[in-house]
């Protein structure tokens, strides 16, 4: 049995160093790592291979260790973190969790199962390309074998980075990923549609630029029609991730696979589905004084069986 990646402290520097093929991480990010059947190199290769198949696969998004283990036991082949789902679990809004707690979180998810894990790394937690590259190195040290960088700036006055600047940031991330001692799958995200900029041509042009900058997977969350998705798939030369779990969108895995999509994620929708059930039950108790919500609850024995080591 191979020992999973051992983390080395480099407290005097706030970024990852690679020494003799081992990745170091500041102590604030350290998560106790479990024995794994697979090395980071093996996980990275497994994850990359999933994108090379002829059919699409679903990569669900857990928000804590428990949901990661449940999804693994159900048979999914890889996992992706959700920044929104994790923020909600902390009682915070999306995009308010800093890089250090996020690295601790993704380390916990990556350590929870033997599945390859890709991280929602938001916009890289910094505007400068070197900060984005640093985030990729930290993510790899935390146990991830993939991660996404988006072109959303976080600024209300200019929510999307100018295209050349966004491509520069992806290029820095790609260079950092290629320098790692294992395959790290970089996903570039074009965020136009999530910010009310329903410009398919600009979205495609951006993803083409990110492809040229070195991204391994391309992703435009918010596309909802067959026509939009097909146009993107045919315009690029990289695997395309599509976001599902959107209200009113009824495209299934077989349809998406037929369109040429290679990966389907669900973002925070599993988290929001769970929170929806929680809020309905809470409101029922508060408003009606009844407890019918529990009729739909999963049994504790079923959960315990799934969580058996």
Q: Are residues 100 and 223 in the same domain?
A: yes
How many separate domains does the chain show? 2
Please report whether residue 23 resides in a domain. no
Tokens linked to 210: 């990110």
Q: Are residues 226 and 284 in the same domain?
A: no
Q: Are residues 120 and 250 in the same domain?
A: yes
Please report whether residue 246 resides in a domain. yes
Q: In what order do the strands lie in the sheet with 57-59?
A: 57-59, 263-265, 240-243, 217-219, 185-189, 146-150, 117-120, 79-80
Q: Are residues 218 and 297 in the same domain?
A: no
Please report whether residue 147 resides in a domain. yes
* Nearest-5° Cα angle at 242, 89 to 227: 140
Other beta carbons within 10 angstroms of residue 160's beta carbon come to 21
The pLDDT tens digits along the chain (309 residues) read 333 333 433 322 333 444 334 445 555 455 555 567 899 999 999 999 999 999 999 999 999 999 999 999 999 999 999 999 999 999 999 999 999 999 999 999 999 999 999 999 999 999 999 999 999 999 999 999 999 999 999 999 999 999 999 999 999 999 999 999 999 999 999 999 999 999 999 999 999 999 999 999 999 999 999 999 999 999 999 999 999 999 999 999 999 999 999 999 999 999 999 999 999 999 999 999 999 999 999 999 999 999 997
**Predicted pLDDT at 26:** 52
Tokens linked to 147: 């991660």
295: domain range?
269-309
Beta strand 146-150 with 117-120 is: parallel
Q: Are residues 158 and 305 in the same domain?
A: no
Please report whether residue 10 resides in a domain. no
> Distances from the Cα of 300 to the Cαs of 117, 306, 307, in angstroms?
27, 10, 11
Residues forming beta bridges with residue 265, ordered by sequence position: 59, 243
Q: Are residues 206 and 298 in the same domain?
A: no
DSSP 180-195: SSS--EEEEE--GGGG
Please report whether residue 17 resides in a domain. no
Cα–Cα distance for residue pair 284/281, rounded to 1 Å: 5
CB-facing half-sphere around the CA of 185: CA atoms within 13 A: 31
CATH of the domain at 138: 3.20.20.60
Please report whether residue 134 resides in a domain. yes
Q: Are residues 224 and 138 in the same domain?
A: yes
Please report whether residue 280 resides in a domain. yes
> Distances from the Cα of 156 to the Cαs of 46, 125, 242, 300, in angstroms?
39, 16, 25, 44
What is the three-state SS of 76-113? CCCEECCHHHHHHHCCCCCCCCCHHHHHHHHHHHHHHC
Cα–Cα distance for residue pair 125/101, rounded to 1 Å: 12
Please report whether residue 22 resides in a domain. no
pTM above 0.75, yes or no: yes
Q: Are residues 171 and 89 in the same domain?
A: yes
Q: Are residues 114 and 93 in the same domain?
A: yes
Q: Where are the beta strands (DSSP E) in the chain?
A: 18-19, 22-23, 57-59, 79-80, 117-120, 146-150, 185-189, 217-219, 240-243, 263-265
Q: Are residues 170 and 49 in the same domain?
A: yes
**Predicted pLDDT at 36:** 73
**Predicted pLDDT at 309:** 75
Other beta carbons within 10 angstroms of residue 22's beta carbon come to 13
Residues forming beta bridges with residue 241, ordered by sequence position: 219, 263
Q: Are residues 147 and 291 in the same domain?
A: no
Q: Are residues 161 and 283 in the same domain?
A: no
């Amino acid at each position: 049995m191979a020992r999973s990646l051992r983390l080395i402290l480099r407290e005097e520097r706030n970024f990852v160093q690679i020494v003799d093929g081992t990745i170091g991480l500041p102590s604030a990010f350290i998560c106790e790592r479990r024995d794994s059947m697979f090395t980071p190199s093996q996980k990275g290769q497994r994850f990359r291979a999933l994108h090379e198949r002829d059919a699409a696969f679903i990569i669900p998004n857990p928000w804590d260790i428990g949901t990661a283990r449940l999804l693994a036991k159900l048979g999914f082949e890889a996992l992706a973190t959700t920044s929104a789902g994790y923020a909600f679990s902390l009682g915070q809004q999306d995009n308010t969790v800093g890089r250090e707690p996020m690295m601790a979180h993704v380390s916990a998810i990556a350590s929870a199962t033997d599945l390859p894990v890709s991280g929602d790394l938001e916009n890289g937690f910094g505007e400068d390309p070197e900060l984005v590259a640093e985030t990729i190195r930290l993510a790899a040290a935390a146990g991830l074998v993939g991660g996404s960088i988006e072109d959303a700036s976080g600024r209300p006055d200019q929510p999307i980075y100018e295209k050349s600047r966004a491509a520069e940031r992806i290029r820095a991330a790609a260079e950092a990923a290629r320098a790692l001692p294992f395959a790290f799958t970089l996903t570039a995200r074009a965020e136009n549609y999530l910010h009310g900029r329903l410009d398919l041509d600009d979205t495609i042009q951006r993803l083409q630029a990110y492809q040229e900058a070195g991204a391994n997977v391309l992703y435009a969350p918010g596309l909802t029609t067959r026509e939009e998705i097909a146009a993107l798939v045919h315009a690029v030369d990289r695997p395309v991730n599509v976001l599902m779990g959107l209200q009113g969108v009824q495209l299934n895995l077989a349809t998406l696979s037929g369109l040429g999509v290679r990966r389907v994620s669900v973002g925070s929708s599993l988290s929001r589905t769970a929170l929806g059930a929680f809020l309905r039950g809470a409101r029922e108790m508060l408003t009606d004084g009844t407890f019918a919500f529990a009729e739909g609850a999963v049994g504790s024995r079923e959960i315990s069986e799934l969580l058996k080591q």
